[in-house]
Amino acid sequence: MSRARRRSAPPPPHRSVLAGFLSLLGELLITLGLVLGLFVAYSLWWTNVLADRQASARGDEVRQRWQTPAPAASTPDRPGALDTQDGIGFLHVPAMKNGEVLVKTGTDPEVLNDGVAGYYTEPVKSALPWDDKGNFALAAHRDGHGAKFHNIDKVKNGDAIVFETKDTWYVYKVFADLRQTSKYNVDVINPVPKESGRTAPGRFITLTTCTPVYTSKYRYVVWGELVRTEKVDAKRTPPAELR
C-alpha cells in the first residue's frame, strides 16, 4: 500500500465513555458473582465440614467420659447431670439419615454452630428425657454449621426418634408435625404442646428448625412421644429401631 493511501485511511474508532463504563460494570459484576459464590460455598459446605469435625471430637469426648467410672458424688440415675456442658447424650433419627447428633445445653448460635442439637433453656425450659413429665424440646440448623436437621421433612408419623444417654435408650414415636409456623411461636415447645393435638401431660420430644430450607423465616416442628426405655447393655446394643 502506498504512503499516500496509508495517510488517507481513517483513524481507528475510539471507545465511547458508555462502552467503557459497561465493560467495567461487567467485570465488577463477574467479580461480585465469584465472591458471592465463594460465600455460599463457605456457608453451605465449609461450615458443615468444620462443624462436623467439632461435633465428632466433642462426641468422642462424651463417650470416653461415659467409659470412666463416675465419682462417688455423682448421680448415675440422672446421666444428664454429669456433663451438661459437653453434651447430655446423642439423638438418633433414622429418617433423617444424619447419623448420631450430640445434644448440648442451649439453642444460641454459639452452641448450634458446633454441629449439634441444643435443648431449650428459654423462653420455655425444656424437660429432659428422664423427667417424669414434660417436653424434651430441641433445635438444630437446617443448612450450614452441620445442618443436622436438614432432612426433617423426611420424618413421618410413626417414625422412631431415639435419644441415647450413658445408661438408657429413650425411644419415641412421631405422632404429629407442623410444617410451617412463626419463629416466635413458643407454644410448640410447651410442656404440653397443644398444637400437636395432645392436651394432657406426657413425655414428649420436639424437634424444631428453620424453614424453608436456606432461610430462617419460619419454623418446622416435629413431635414424638415416649413409648419405652431400654437399659444400655455392656456392648451398647442399640434398640431395634436403630438396627
Q: What is the Cα–Cα distance from 19 to 31, expressed in whole angstroms?
A: 19
The alpha-carbon radius of gyration of the chain (Å, integer) is 27
Q: At 11, list the grid cell.
A: 483513524
The separation between the first and the last C-alpha atoms of the chain, rounded to the nearest angstrom, is 88
Q: What are phi and psi of 136, to 5 degrees?
A: -80, 95
Burial level of 241, CB count in 10 A (0-12/13-18/19+)?
middle
Q: What are phi and psi of 196, to 5 degrees?
A: -80, -15
Beta-carbon count within 10 A of 22 CB: 12
Q: Which residue carries 423465616 as its cell? A: 217
> Is residue 167 within 8 Å of 79, Cβ to Cβ?
yes
Nearest to 164 by CA among 135, 132, 130, 118: 130
> Is residue 74 within 8 Å of 65, Cβ to Cβ?
no
Between vectors from CA 25 to CA 19 and to CA 30, what angle results, nearest 5°? 130
For the annotated catalytic residues, the residue numbers are 210
Q: What is the Cα–Cα distance from 236 to 121, expressed in whole angstroms?
A: 29
